[in-house]
Amino acid sequence: MIRARITGTGSFLPGDPVSNEALIRDRGLDSSDEWIVERTGIRSRHLAPANVASSDLALEAARRALASAGRAAGDVDLIIVATSTPDFVFPSTATLLQAKLGVHNGAAAFDVQAVCSGFAFALATAEKFLRSGSHRCALVVGAEVFSRILDWKDRGTCVLFGDGAGAVVLEAADDPGILATAIHADGRHHGILSVPGHLCGGQPIGDPLLRMDGQAVFKFAVRVLAEVAAEVLGAASMAPSDLDWLIPHQANIRILQATGRKIGLAPEKCVVTVDRHGNTSAASIPLALDEAVRDGRIRAGQTVLMEGVGGGFTWGAVLARF
């Protein structure tokens, strides 16, 4: 039976960290470092310069993931980019990344749009392609420039997000690898987190900035993250005690802590980057994964649960052995 294994990770953050104090000063916000840290755990984030797009961040993360897997760009036969802030309406960010990487072998390339669950959706999708035998080497990327869709006059949302990209190389293998995946959506909740504008002739129409009911999002996120964790653990006949690491989508430290408690996991088993990255949507899980792999926390043979929740609403999880 063909299985799929993560063989390399990479990530990229644009520019220098922007502290809460600097953000408040530069954007003229009526807020404070204390409020932001206490409610969200966020201390700083990275913001991409105006001339940098999601495909540029994806390119750096992808190059690093390929290098860590010992693969050349030409080895890749499938590229999936998870993003809600694509460079264009079309072509997809995945095809732009393909061109920038110089992959000219006819590899399939497409985007996945599941907001903050995007990376879990993309990884679960790639795993199915590899297990089917149709593809052998996938590049799975989460890349976002959320700073472009924020209302900088709305202090309740603009302090929460950041820009960045993370990537993994997923290869066909004899052993797992990916132990279980689950992805879900419930469109009835589309109203609690959305960017309710659209483009016409390249111009934004309506309200093209992020709107959120923070408390409704909070409650929904904690519930479904605990549920989907139980689902993939059950599918792999494992218990929370079998987990070495939990990498939840990095939305807010209080969501991460509440999720860890609901799953029954010690806080030190949760990888946390939200304090330094903010919420980078589809990029947050692969950014955190790459950090924990590179600093030696995640080691070969360990079991890692990655899970995301985001607008739509969407949620999903990937249970993997490294």
Measured distance CA(163)–CA(143) in Å, rounded: 8
Tell whether residue 155 is a contact of ligand ACO (CB under 6 A).
yes
Rule CB under 6 A: choose which of 17, 21, 31, 235 binds ligand ACO. 31
Of the listed pieces 43-51, 71-79, 102-110, 155-163, which binds ligand ACO according to CB under 6 A? Answer: 155-163
Site track 95-124 with ligand ACO (rule: CB under 6 A), x = hit = ---------------------x--------
In the annotation, is 249 catalytic?
A: yes
Residue 224 as a binder of ligand ACO (CB under 6 A): the answer is: no
Cβ-in-10-Å burial (0-12, 13-18, 19+) of 31 comes to middle
Whole-number Å distance between alpha carbons of 322 and 308? 19
What order do you get walking across the sheet with 178-185 strand by strand? Answer: 178-185, 314-321, 303-310, 245-248
Active site residue 51: no
Q: Which of residues 43-62 bind ligand ACO (CB under 6 A)?
A: none
193 binds ligand ACO (CB under 6 A): yes
Contact call for residues 310 and 160 (beta carbons, < 8 A) = no
First-residue to last-residue Cα distance in the chain: 18
How far does Cα 206 stand from its chain's mean position? 27
223 is an interface residue for ligand ACO by CB under 6 A: no
Residue 35 binds ligand ACO, judged by CB under 6 A:
yes
User: Does the annotation mark 137 as catalytic?
Assistant: no
Residue 164 token pair = 């960045």
What count of other Cβ atoms lies within 10 Å of the Cβ of residue 298? Answer: 22
Name the residue nearer to ligand ACO (CB basis): 156 or 264: 156
Task: Check 116, 137, 158, 270 and give the catalytic one.
Answer: 116
Dihedral of alpha carbons 267, 280, 14, 37, sign: negative
Cβ proximity to ligand ACO, 73 vs 289, nearer residue: 289
- The nearest distance, CB 136 to ligand ACO, in angstroms, is 33
- Owner of token pair 């293998």: 173
Task: Identify which of 108, 89, 79 has the alpha carbon closest to the alpha carbon of residue 205.
Answer: 89
Q: Could you give the string, one character per residue 121-150, with x where binding to ligand ACO holds by CB under 6 A and - elsewhere?
A: ------------------------------
36: left (phi over 0), alpha (psi -120 to 50) or beta: alpha
Decide: is 159 part of the binding site for ligand ACO (CB under 6 A): yes
Site size for ligand ACO (CB under 6 A):
24
Chain positions contacting ligand ACO, by CB under 6 A: 31, 35-36, 39-40, 116, 155-156, 159-160, 193, 212, 214-215, 217-218, 221, 249, 251-252, 255, 279, 309-310
Catalytic residues: 116, 249, 279
